Structure 1
Amino acid sequence: MIHDLWSVLPPPPDTAHIPVTNPTLRALLIRRGIVDDDSFRRFTAPALGDLHDPSSIHGMDHACERITRAIRDKEAIVIYGDYDVDGVTSIVMLRTVLRTLGADVDFVVPHRLVDGYGLKMEVLDRVLHERNVRLVITVDCGITSVEPVQRAIERGIDVIITDHHLPPGVLPEAAAVLNPKQPGCEYPFKELAGVGVAFKLCCELIKRGGKKISIESLLKIAAIGTIADVAPLVGENRTIASLGLHALADVRNPGLRALLKRLGLNGRALRAVDVGFKIGPRINAAGRLASANTAIDLFAATDEDAAWQLCAELDRMNSERQAIELQVRECAEQQIARDREVANDVERILVLAGEGWHRGVLGLTAGRIAQRYHRPTLAMTIEGDLCIGSGRSIPTINLHEELSNVDDLFLHFGGHEFACGFSLATSNLSALRERLHARFELLDESLFRREARVDAVLTLAGIDHNFIAAHELLQPFGAGNPQPLFMIRDVTITGTRMFAEDCSELSLEDATGRGVGVLWPSAKELAPQLVRAVDLLVRVEPDKWNGGGRVEVVDVRAVEGI
């Protein structure tokens, strides 16, 4: 058993007026705030009209006026973006729109291994010495860049910040700051990804510029960035993701079309999992190991041959990234094992650091370890006198808030509630570890209990075609809209067939009938327990082979554990 506790959620009060009769599915929708025809339509069939007015983002007027003036006066504009999928898609989108509006625009991206994260004048200097730039627009970064913005202003350069990270107490003195999270911003949805903020700027520029630019085309790019950045798929993010995924069935951009073809995804509406586990990692690989320019070049490719070669390079980088990540993660696991021998348990926060760990995989390493041990995790590389790291948390703990209490130790610190980036002097590493361990010992023990919140109890017979069709209305799944967890009681495993390494197809039977299950590598440790009558914790998926449904095993326990 992976989880410490399985808790079946009680059915919510049902006074909803929605066109769903199945009580289990009604409960799932009601828990998501779907209680009437309007909210049901917005959730299951979002439309362009559901997008909020971009002009209500604080600073939008100033941003559009400054950009319009730069286009009119033929001033050179530089987009400064982050090196992850969120930043790459933001650059691609904004550059496309600005060029269509007649702007003289270029972009620059810091190199993760050389420059690190955030707005830096030394990175801008790479283009400033070649061009007389008068306007810089940041995407997916800049909200904490008080000093770099001031330096730019002193050189006669205006800066527009578009970002979605948590704002500091003092904002940069930019020409405009677009961030729904900033104080005083009345925009109704606060959880846009960086590409979502860039998308809203593009929509307003298009409206004011009077140009015919397809919003649907922009949504394809915005959906990729939103999902890959693990933004919560609720509210406007859900609208962006749903419309964009549907539109990705018809792609005209040669680079993106080649990538989908290479991944076997072309010609059909995509699911969030396709972006999260196939498209996103390949776009991210460029910025993790080398330059994000490779991914940006893919979207700018004009012919299939060039696009295919860039796809092949991203594939190669992704394979290299996987190997490097495995190596770093194994080193981190060794540290955990050594500490566990001393403490006889896993610490409440894992503070892991190693000489020369690759910067590009620190976030992935922290995320995987946090998920495995159900502990907030910091993964850091030690580079002489400097430590650079990423942190990932668990759903019950706001890591950004906890790290804010020790931010006097950091040289740089920022991020979200559950994902942070930071740097500190190596001499402060011991103090960081000691102070965090002391703080986390004061937290309630229940925060570290791995609890499975079970949406409902199902039977195998109940997972029929109608149930699957209605269940699919909850797509796309992701942060903020997790795929439902179900329990099936007293299941007998009547057969097992291996169909790939660490992948098993299971023949299942309960008192109501038979079904098919899958055990993926992420749950392979459960295999030895699937030898007798058990209770299963599962997720439900369509089965393209039989037209019905199948279950993906998440956890298992003995029947006597009921």
Structure 2
Amino acid sequence: MTGPKRWQLFDQQSEITSQLGPRLDVHPILAQILLNREIKSLKEASAFLMPNRSVSELSFDQKDLDQVTGVLHAHVSRKTPIMVYGDYDVDGMSSTALMVTVLRQLGATVHFYIPDRFQDGYGLSQGIIPSLIEKKIGLLLTLDCGVSNRVEIAAIKDQCACDVLVLDHHQLPDILPDFDGMLNPKQLPESHSYAHLCTAGIVFECLDYYVRRYSCGLDMNAFLDLVALGTVADVARLKGANRWYVVEGLRLLSARHHLGIRCLLEEANCTQARITAREIGFVIAPRLNASGRLKNGLLGVKLLMAETEESGRHFARLLESLNQERRALDVSILKESVAFVEAEKLHEQSVIVMSSKTWHPGVIGITASKLVERYSRPVVLVCEQNEIARGSARSVGEVNVYQVLKSCQSYFQSFGGHQQAAGFSMSLNQIPGFIESLQLKGREQILPEALFPIIHVDAPLMGGQIDLALAESLQRLAPFGEGNPEPVFYFEGLTPVSPKCVGDGRHVKVMFTDPSSGVVLDGIGFNLSDKLELFHRKKVSVVGHLQVNEWQQRRSVQIQILDVK
């Protein structure tokens, strides 16, 4: 079952696109999509279509770059032990692997640590202090964390007497920690090319500036596959510098340049020659994330730093096994939670909230997302463990789940997130009161119309406009992701032919004919089997992606259906 969706068409600016298209040498439809992506000048459009690294602006303030690289160079030169403290998500893993690999190539003495999700929690932990003392660490580098860890950094500097550099992309607190240098894109103007870097991008820019400043003779572009991995997996906005990272990084990934990632792709039976952002999001990242969700992100870093075929295959097998375990847990939790929702009629509430002692805290966020898709409601799942409950929330439509939860924050020990997702922890005895309060706040704050997901439609397409050339030309807009979604089109008055369920009965395969032009199109709708009856109508309207389908060396146009009415 999938919830109802609203279709929202962008304003069609035919007069502008008819002028912009020829000047950019693109189809007017592509010109319309560029306008939809808020690209409003020829210069911006050209940079988007042919991404290159900006040479006209520094990635960060000159003073900050000099300070951070100066402190780093002092420790590299003296060969004082350096500790890299990462994070257990893919951005944290890829940035840790990048930093450690490059520093070791530069001759530094480097250790690294990935916190345990269950023992250390999120962010920098004071639990690292004994290790810093034992290893006589002179410099601590915090990656993808640190900017909010004022207390922890103060304790570390007091007990370990080491320098601390923070490379982090999270929001700046009112009072910053007492670090010795920081690079954070949140300090840049919103319009800056580097304003939306994830930590992998920050690390790349830091090291690239370092090797140029100190004439190290190292080609940093050879590491862009790791930067692309972190950028896509962290759902960073694919504009500005991020777009260049991903375009170049995908070329390296397609060439199987990185040993560990190649082993992981082979273990996952991913054989296509061209790796896209989709393979990062749906093949590579879930397997790396499985280590952080179920065990420790250290396994992911070891894969990304593997130097031999044997070690690469070893860690790839371990990650594949963990991903299979993660999938099984997700299926089990989803089945149990759906049964509970239906039995208790929780889908009639403005917010679905449930708690269980048997759920795994590393998986409930994934399950919550699937329940949101099923019921078109914000979903909050709480895992009860020992004396602490950990919750994960996902939103839908225009509902700001962070703000709804914030109205209940008196129940939380820790809390953070944004409009679409949030997480928290609380004492077990607070759960009943929290659930009652959240459902009340949901009824007060969430309007019914805000619950329906919006599908933003780039342009209507008539049968006569649809051909292989147009579908192929859309790839000029790739890679797709946050800030640059894959184009969505509106197709009206199509006649469905022979619709049927495929893929264990979950998906719909159908052929369409356009009566006005005679064009025949294949269509595939993932997870739309509950709407099969609609495809038996004489005429339907659909929204979806226009794609090139390759089968047995034959290329044809296909609609990937997102919704039907």
Do the two structures share a fold, i.e. TM-score over 0.5?
Answer: yes
Q: 1:289-320: per-residue Cα shift (whole Å, max 9, x none)?
A: 11222221112222223312221221111111
Give the distance between the partners of 1:228 and 1:438, measured in 2 at CA.
35
Out of 537, 548, 553, the residue aligned to residue 542 of structure 1 is 548
Out of 526-535 and 57-66, give the one that drifted further.
57-66
Matched-pair contact (CA < 8 Å) for 1:336–1:346: no
Give the distance between the partners of 2:321 and 2:423, measured in 1 at CA.
26
Give the distance between the partners of 1:397 and 1:194, measured in 2 at CA.
28
Structure 1 residues 85 and 132: CA distance shift in structure 2, 3 A: same
Give the distance between the partners of 2:168 and 2:380, measured in 1 at CA.
23
Q: 1:124-175: per-residue Cα shift (whole Å, max 9, x none)?
A: 53x3354111221111122222221111011113222222222333322222
Provide structure 2 residue ranges, at least 5 long, that are not aligned to the other structure.
none
Out of 484, 487, 491, the residue aligned to residue 488 of structure 1 is 491
Matched-pair contact (CA < 8 Å) for 1:57–1:186: no
Out of 183-192 and 65-74, give the one that drifted further.
183-192
Alignment correspondent of 2:321: 316
Q: Does 1:446 align with 2:449?
A: yes
Secondary structure of the equivalent of 1:522? coil
Out of 108-117 and 410-419, give the one that drifted further.
410-419
Give the distance between the partners of 2:498 and 2:343, measured in 1 at CA.
39
Give the distance between the partners of 1:446 and 1:331, measured in 2 at CA.
28
Q: Does 1:194 align with 2:209?
A: no
Structure 1 residues 56 and 392: CA distance shift in structure 2, 3 A: farther
Secondary structure of the equivalent of 1:505? strand
Alignment correspondent of 1:48: 53
Residue identity in the other structure for 1:179: N
Alignment correspondent of 1:288: 293
Calculate the TM-score normalised by the size of structure 1: 0.90
Secondary structure of the equivalent of 1:181? helix
Structure 1 residues 61 and 363: CA distance shift in structure 2, 3 A: farther
Alignment correspondent of 2:363: 361
Alignment correspondent of 1:475: 478
| Distance apart, 1:395 and its partner CA | 5.2
CA RMSD of aligned residues (A): 2.7
Q: Does 1:3 align with 2:4?
A: yes
Matched-pair contact (CA < 8 Å) for 2:164–2:179: yes
Alignment correspondent of 2:467: 464
Q: Does 1:135 align with 2:143?
A: no
Out of 164-173 and 536-545, give the one that drifted further.
164-173
Residue identity in the other structure for 1:315: E
Matched-pair contact (CA < 8 Å) for 1:366–1:391: yes
Q: 1:484-511: per-residue Cα shift (whole Å, max 9, x none)?
A: 2222222222224666433443222121
Q: 1:163-206: per-residue Cα shift (whole Å, max 9, x none)?
A: 22223333222222322225999965432222222222222222
Q: 1:425-453: per-residue Cα shift (whole Å, max 9, x none)?
A: 22333343344334432344432233333
Q: 1:138-287 residue pairs with structure 2 within 5 A?
A: 138-155=142-159, 156-182=161-187, 189-263=194-268, 265=270, 268-287=273-292
Structure 1 residues 36 and 4: CA distance shift in structure 2, 3 A: closer
Out of 195-204 and 55-64, give the one that drifted further.
55-64
Matched-pair contact (CA < 8 Å) for 1:541–1:551: yes
Residue identity in the other structure for 1:486: F
Give the distance between the partners of 1:443 and 1:497, measured in 2 at CA.
37
Q: 1:52-89: per-residue Cα shift (whole Å, max 9, x none)?
A: 52342874333222211111222111111111111100
- Number of residue equivalences: 553
Secondary structure of the equivalent of 1:98? helix
Residue identity in the other structure for 1:535: S
Provide structure 1 residue ranges, at least 5 long, that are not aligned to the other structure.
558-562
Percent identity of equivalent pairs = 27
Give the distance between the partners of 2:254 and 2:327, measured in 1 at CA.
28
Matched-pair contact (CA < 8 Å) for 1:166–1:415: no
Matched-pair contact (CA < 8 Å) for 2:397–2:452: no
Structure 1 residues 134 and 284: CA distance shift in structure 2, 3 A: same
Give the distance between the partners of 2:368 and 2:309, measured in 1 at CA.
37
| Distance apart, 1:51 and its partner CA | 8.7
Out of 382, 387, 397, the residue aligned to residue 385 of structure 1 is 387
Secondary structure of the equivalent of 1:230? coil
Out of 356-365 and 318-327, give the one that drifted further.
356-365
Calculate the TM-score normalised by the size of structure 2: 0.90
| Distance apart, 1:34 and its partner CA | 3.0
Q: 1:52-131 residue pairs with structure 2 within 5 A?
A: 53-56=58-61, 59-125=64-130, 127-128=131-132, 130-131=134-135
Give the distance between the partners of 1:253 and 1:386, measured in 2 at CA.
40
Alignment correspondent of 1:528: 533
